[in-house]
């Protein structure tokens, strides 16, 4: 017998329950498992030294960028805490995130005592913190960002794929597509591939081999690149050639989707280092052409500019081989997440991935997911209430099915179809 439909008043609490209880798969993070040594970032000093908070601190403090970079990690964390949490109220999303994470993980942020908070973290091992953070976020696994051009990271992979079911690989190829001559070519040569600056026929074959070898080594869920706002396709450029002749064929033949993260302006202010990136509106037609010309390739995408979000939904309506994911970086603020999620639901139904965390520091999972669930839950509740007002009735089981698809199922099915 079909489950009874929910009454109008039962909808919001049922959506809330479904959204809170659904275990998510976090499809894009910068987290690493312990096997990657120093790449794995965790603890209160790292949490405070998040590049989002560094940018905010340097706006408010009088010490200047150079003096900030001369400090050691703990001194920087002290300074960020003092500036953003003590001398000002921590209302920004990144600041509130630290407070939510501390509370969710069991430290008391209200006392405002950084040394007490440090003691709390000192009593916890990395493995314990992984368990706690995953539990607080209610996630089953995170997808890492794995860079074969990073020497230290590559060394770990050369020893064999770390058997960790909670940290899944994604093959990131930014150096190949964004800085071929300076960054990618030396690594290709050092790893034994006969590459050259002219992209000869032999070189293109070697680059396909490089990508194939790394797919064998990592078994990644997808391969990914971040791209500037002026990304164009097709294009007579190194990037255009490499996408056309190497990335697309390998992605298709290996059944590994290609994720394009579009709209980042790297190093608008280099003195801020990792905090110095900006964003701008991109031209959607590059993505449209990629999807239209390669209907058998699978593409994942997210855009960094708010101005691109509506156009992106329209593009996704046209291409079943395109799956939109997450509210990336400068989009990951409750007001924008609410707007984008609403827009996506209205234009795409439930055929998208509402969020990824982009967490860099383990404990961030314990705020990014609770904050995301709060906003996504309220948007969905409104949509289902609207449906009920129009005369449709949903059951709790149907809600759970839908939320499962948003948080896990849509991505899994997309991967299965691609493979
Ligand atoms: O390129 C990316 O994957 C970006 O997410 C990062 O480079 C960025 O620094 C970040 O951490 C955003 O959340
Ligand atoms: Zn990222």
So what's the pLDDT on residue 1? 62
Closest-approaching ligand to the CA atom of 173? 1
Which two three-digit tokens encode residue 249? 């064929």
So what's the pLDDT on residue 4? 87
- The structure's pTM equals 0.98
Question: What's the CA-to-centroid distance between 358 and ligand 2, angstroms?
Answer: 5
What is the full per-residue pLDDT of the chain (419 aa) written as tens digits?
677 899 999 999 999 999 999 999 999 999 999 999 999 999 999 999 999 999 999 999 999 999 999 999 999 999 999 999 999 999 999 999 999 999 999 999 999 999 999 999 999 999 999 999 999 999 999 999 999 999 999 999 999 999 999 999 999 999 999 999 999 999 999 999 999 999 999 999 999 999 999 999 999 999 999 999 999 999 999 999 999 999 999 999 999 999 999 999 999 999 999 999 999 999 999 999 999 999 999 999 999 999 999 999 999 999 999 999 999 999 999 999 999 999 999 999 999 999 999 999 999 999 999 999 999 999 999 999 999 999 999 999 999 999 999 999 999 999 999 99
> Is any atom of ligand 1 closer than 6 Å to the C-beta of 319?
no
Q: Could you tell me how far CA 274 lies from the centroid of its own chain?
A: 16
Q: Could you tell me how far CA 160 lies from the centroid of its own chain?
A: 25
- CA of 358, closest atom in ligand 1: 13
- CA of 329, closest atom in ligand 1: 13
> Is any atom of ligand 1 closer than 6 Å to the C-beta of 305?
no
Question: What's the CA-to-centroid distance between 30 and ligand 2, angstroms?
Answer: 6
Q: Please count the helices (runs of H) and the strands (runs of E) in the chain.
A: 20, 10
Q: What percent of the chain is helix, strand and coil (3-state, nearest 5)? A: 60, 10, 30
């Amino acid at each position: 017998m079909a489950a009874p439909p929910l009454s109008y008043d039962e909808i919001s609490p049922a959506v809330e329950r479904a959204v809170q209880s659904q275990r998510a798969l976090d499809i894009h993070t910068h987290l690493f498992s312990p096997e990657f040594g120093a790449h794995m970032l965790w603890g209160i000093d790292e949490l405070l030294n998040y590049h989002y908070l560094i940018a905010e601190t340097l706006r408010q403090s009088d010490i200047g960028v150079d003096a900030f970079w001369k400090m050691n990690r703990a001194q920087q964390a002290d300074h960020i805490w003092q500036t953003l949490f003590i001398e000002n109220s921590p209302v920004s999303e990144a600041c509130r995130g630290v407070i939510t994470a501390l509370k969710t993980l069991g430290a008391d942020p209200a006392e405002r005592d950084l040394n007490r908070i440090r003691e709390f973290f000192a009593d916890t091992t990395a493995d314990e913190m992984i368990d706690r953070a995953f539990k607080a976020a209610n996630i089953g696994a995170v997808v890492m960002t794995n860079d074969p051009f990073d020497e230290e990271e590559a060394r770990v992979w050369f020893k064999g794929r770390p058997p960790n079911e909670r940290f899944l690989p994604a093959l990131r190829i930014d150096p190949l597509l964004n800085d071929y001559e300076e960054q990618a070519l030396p690594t290709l040569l050092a790893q034994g591939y006969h590459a050259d600056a002219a992209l000869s026929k032999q070189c293109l074959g070697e680059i396909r081999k490089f990508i194939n070898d790394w797919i064998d080594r990592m078994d990644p869920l997808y391969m990914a690149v971040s791209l500037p706002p002026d990304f164009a396709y097709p294009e007579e450029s190194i990037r255009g050639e490499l996408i056309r002749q190497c990335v697309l064929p390998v992605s298709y033949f290996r059944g590994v989707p290609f994720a394009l993260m579009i709209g980042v302006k790297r190093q608008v202010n280099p003195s801020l280092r990792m905090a110095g990136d900006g964003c701008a509106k991109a031209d959607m037609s590059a993505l449209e052409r990629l999807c239209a010309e390669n209907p058998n390739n699978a593409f994942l995408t997210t855009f960094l500019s708010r101005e691109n979000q509506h156009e992106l939904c329209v593009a996704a309506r046209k291409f079943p081989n395109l799956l939109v994911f997450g509210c990336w970086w400068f989009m990951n603020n409750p007001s924008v997440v609410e707007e984008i999620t609403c827009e996506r639901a209205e234009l795409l139904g439930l055929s998208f991935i509402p969020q990824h965390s982009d967490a860099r520091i383990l404990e961030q999972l314990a705020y990014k997911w609770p904050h995301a669930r709060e906003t996504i839950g309220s948007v969905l509740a409104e949509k289902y209430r609207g449906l009920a007002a129009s005369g449709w009735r949903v059951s709790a089981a149907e809600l759970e099915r839908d939320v499962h698809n948003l948080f896990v199922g849509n991505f899994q099915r997309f991967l299965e179809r691609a493979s």
